[in-house]
Amino acid sequence: MPDILDWSGSDLERLELEAFEGRSNEMAARMREEVAAGRLPFLSMPYMDGLLEQLDGLQDYLAGFEHMLLLGIGGSALGARALQKAFFPRQDQPCHDGPWLWIADNVDSYALESYMAKLPPEKTVVVTVSKSGGTIETVGQYFIIRDWMRGRIGDDWTEHMLLVTDEKAGFLRKEADENAIRTLPVPDNLGGRYSVLSAVGLVPALFLGMDVRALVDGAREMAAPLADPGLDGEALAKLPSFDLAVWANGLMRAGYDQLIFFSYIPLWASFGDWFAQLWAESLGKEGKGSQPIAAIGATDQHSVNQMFLDGPRNKACLFLTCPTLPAGPRFPENLPDAFDYVRGKEFGELIQAEGMGTRMALQKNGVPLVEMRMEHDDPRQAGKLIALLGAATILAGWLMDINPLDQPAVELGKRLAKARLGADGLPEETADLADFLTSQRDEREF
């Protein structure tokens, strides 16, 4: 049974898709041009063979540690966490005895102090991830952890550091060169939200013992047709990533400005957070885009699903399922009569029934829905899903006539934060900050 996109509930017939479908030749030409120019390494993956060799050489080194502390934020952490939750669930289960991956992805003094108080530095490797080498939330944590390591271990502190950053430029590259710290590169033109299939996501995956090559093979299978130098409009129009991009644009034109990512693969729920950044940061530009909403089945049937089903009709849904999830234990036979419908059934049947019920209810209530039905919940299928959604996002942005690879609005908040901390070279932001701090406030106690 292959992986399937089920379009039965997508409302294709009600959406105006012809204008977007008719741009397949244009999109194929752009894809060929961008791939040839090296601007889409997420799809072409020219770095991958070399990276896999480097990862093979790191296995023995990483095996010498019990803990990995990953310093990263946004795309430098969300993919790693999704892989951890999906394929290393035992860290969250009773009596786990290692290895442990800890992800410091926020400006959280409680967490940072806890790591320094409780992690054994001699058994810990610190992986700092920042393409630019200047992400203050990440580099700020690096400064503090670096001093902690120096104080606890002494001259051997560099043996407990691994930097994932630009190959040539930035503070972390300079830090690596000056202190002979191990590094792995983030390829040029590979933005954080597209970087899970690089050292950013694969180093923690390797540390936890995941099948990294299966993950990569799945992604390559999905991406190869898009990176083909002979790609034409006819071939592109047959690819699922283009179908999803066209559908998304039809939805937005019809006023569906929210896109639910509903995961009925419980261990894959964190892919919803990964997708939310991918979609929002790529497509939320120039007053355009649709708001991604991560939801977990069956948990969110009992929380936000009421809004999905009976709120404003502005929502569509990507619905993630897998019919081959573990069966689990059986319900006992000696149940009260009110629960006789599950007597003797396998526990795993419940999530499948819940998923079908929710999918049908969403469709019945007018929510356009595409089911992404994975053959298995294994790393290869995860790689396919990552590449599919990444490619669909890029194509959706091009069809919207925006750049899905930058994030200009996000940079303003970063500059204002630096101005607040007294950074030089930001005269406009410093003036805006002064105006903000001296403006009349409407503050009320509660």
> What's residue 163's pLDDT?
98
Task: Compute the average pLDDT of residues 212-228.
Answer: 98
Calculate what percentage of the chain has a pLDDT beyond 90: 93
Quick check: 260 and 317 in contact, CB under 8 A?
yes
In a domain, 342, yes or no: yes
> What's residue 417's pLDDT?
87
Task: Compute the average pLDDT of residues 245-252.
Answer: 98
When pLDDT is cut at 50, 70 and 90, the band that residue 428 belongs to is very high
> What's residue 414's pLDDT?
84
| Separation between Cα atoms, residue 321 and residue 432, nearest integer Å | 48
* Amino acid symbol at 57: G
In a domain, 168, yes or no: yes
281 with 170, same domain? no
In a domain, 102, yes or no: yes
> What's residue 421's pLDDT?
86
* Active site (annotated) includes residue 118: no
Give every strand in the sheet of 100-104, ordered side by side: 100-104, 67-71, 124-130, 161-165, 182-185
- Tell me: the pLDDT tens digits for 358-408? 999 999 999 999 999 999 999 999 999 999 999 999 999 999 999 999 988
171 with 224, same domain? no
Residue 268, pLDDT > 90, answer yes
Residue 103, pLDDT > 80, answer yes
190 with 222, same domain? no
157, 177, 210 - which closes a domain:
210
18 with 130, same domain? no
258 with 152, same domain? no
Strands (DSSP E) along 30-123, which ranges? 67-71, 100-104
Of the residues 34, 137, 175, 281, only one is catalytic, namely 281
Task: Compute the average pLDDT of residues 190-213.
Answer: 97
> What's residue 409's pLDDT?
83
Average pLDDT score, the chain: 96
> What's residue 360's pLDDT?
97
In a domain, 438, yes or no: no
- On the 0-12 / 13-18 / 19+ scale of CB atoms within 10 A, 233 is middle
Half-sphere exposure of 55 (CA within 13 A, CB side): 25
Task: Compute the average pLDDT of residues 177-191.
Answer: 96
* Active site (annotated) includes residue 281: yes
Q: Is 357 helix (H, G, I), strand (E, B) or coil?
A: helix
- Tell me: the pLDDT tens digits for 272-309? 999 999 999 999 999 999 999 999 999 999 999 999 99
Residue 164, pLDDT > 80, answer yes
- On the 0-12 / 13-18 / 19+ scale of CB atoms within 10 A, 339 is exposed
H or E segment at 162?
strand 161-165
Of the residues 18, 302, 333, 445, only one is catalytic, namely 302
177, 210, 243 - which closes a domain:
210
In a domain, 170, yes or no: yes
In a domain, 376, yes or no: yes
- Tell me: the pLDDT tens digits for 317-332? 999 999 999 999 999 9
In a domain, 419, yes or no: no
When pLDDT is cut at 50, 70 and 90, the band that residue 416 belongs to is confident
234 with 378, same domain? yes
Of the residues 123, 288, 376, 414, only one is catalytic, namely 414
256 with 201, same domain? no
242 with 155, same domain? no
29 with 46, same domain? no
When pLDDT is cut at 50, 70 and 90, the band that residue 411 belongs to is confident
Domain count, the chain: 2
* Active site (annotated) includes residue 414: yes
- CATH of residue 157's domain is 3.40.50.10490
Residue 63, pLDDT > 90, answer yes
In a domain, 347, yes or no: yes
Quick check: 71 and 141 in contact, CB under 8 A?
yes
65 with 201, same domain? yes
- Concatenated DSSP letters for 377-389? SSHHHHHHHHHHH
Residue 70, pLDDT > 80, answer yes
Range of the domain at 194: 41-210
Calculate what percentage of the chain has a pLDDT beyond 70: 100
210, 226, 248 - which closes a domain:
210
118 with 249, same domain? no
Residue 243, pLDDT > 80, answer yes
Task: Compute the average pLDDT of residues 182-195.
Answer: 96
Is the whole model's pTM more than 0.85, yes or no? yes
314 with 224, same domain? yes
